Amino acid sequence: MKRTMYVLLLMIFTFASSCATDRPVTAVKENARGFEKLGHDHYNRGDFEGAVLFFRKALAEDQKVGNFEGISSSLYNIARCYVNFGLYENAEKVLEEALEINEHFGNSSGLGDDFSLLATISTRRKKYDEAMELYKSALGHYREAKNEKGYATVLNNIGSLHIKLGDYNAALESIESSVATHKKLKNHAGLAAAYNNLGFLYELQNKDETAIENYRLALEEDQYIENGLGISSDLHNIAGYYKKIGDLENALFYYKRALEVNRGLGLISRERQDLEQIIDILGTVGREDEKTLYEKALKELEEVETKKSS
């Protein structure tokens, strides 16, 4: 009886020990993904300084265990922050590392991300031919990876590029293809960006009703996913549209709503833009008392900016 009990206990101990040792240690990777999520949260709020700090923490964790997929992802995210800071050379250096890793392991989605961001940098430098070639490379990698979301996002970016080149027909075709795919995937962030592009395209063609319809669709999508940064842009676009057509009351309403969002997000540069627009409209319609209040708010904001930069 005692021997039977001893064997049973030994079997239980052996089973428990094998379960404990067979399970991979993933705590470091989990920490990295946690930092990465925090980075995305800050990035989506427009806090790129906070985002890059968390992306660097994610990178450091992944480097501890040689998680190359995580390393390349963090490098890409850090590069995105650098692009928003206007530090294009820094972004390119970081992307070179990410590309090397993704090429070595044949990570097609990662390569799509990297080439797409390089195309964005070229676009900002107004090297449009170079940007188009890079976007085509990104499309090829996303196609190989069967990454429809990435593919549709690049189509929208190509549409933006066609708008800059003045080829509105090509722009419309590309953006509408992006919308169709994002709808299928129920990718609300991608839809919002594409609808905004359509709004801008139709506004350039003086198709005002269609333009405002698309701007409102973009706002609906961003509000659905609580994308504060997107909501800020949508409200600003709607306000600008109304100002352009001379509907100053509606323009004033939406600039004020954009100002509220930007204050909540702490986006000082956007706050300043909204305040300047509100002050301009209030001056035009002769509401001097209200204008004085907003001028005071702008002065206070500029003092905060001065202190931050000193």
Query: 275-279 — which CB contacts under 8 Å span 24+ positions?
Result: 275/301, 277/239, 277/240, 277/243, 277/251, 278/252
Backbone φ and ψ for 207, nearest 5 degrees, come out as -95, 75
pLDDT tens sequence across 168-223: 999 999 999 999 999 999 999 999 999 999 999 999 999 999 999 999 999 999 99
Above pLDDT 90, what percent of the chain? 86
Task: Return d(Cα 257, Cα 274) in angstroms, integer.
Answer: 9
Q: Kindly indicate whether the domain formed by 235-300 is annotated with CATH number 1.25.40.
A: yes
Tens of pLDDT, residues 214-266: 999 999 999 999 999 999 999 999 999 999 999 999 999 999 999 999 999 98
Q: CA–CA separation, 156 vs 92, rounded Å?
A: 22
d(C-alpha 280, C-alpha 282), whole Å: 6
> How confident is residue 12, by pLDDT bands cut at 50, 70 and 90?
very low
Write the single-letter amino acid at 134: L
Write the secondary structure of 136-156 as one string of H (helix), E (strand) and C (coil).
HHHHHHHHHHCCHHHHHHHHH
Dist CA 198 CA 208 (whole Å) = 11
C-alpha 51/C-alpha 68 separation (Å) is 20
pTM for this prediction: 0.86
Q: Which two tokens stand for residue 61?
A: 């964790």
pLDDT band at 25 (very low <50, low <70, confident <90, very high): low
Tell me the average pLDDT of the chain.
92
The tens digit of pLDDT for each residue in 122-137 reads 999 999 999 999 999 9
**135 within 8 A of 161, measured Cβ to Cβ:** yes
What is d(CA 95, CA 80) in angstroms, rounded to the nearest whole number?
A: 9
According to the model, what pLDDT value does residue 305 have? 79
Name the residue ranges covered by the structural domains of the chain: 235-300
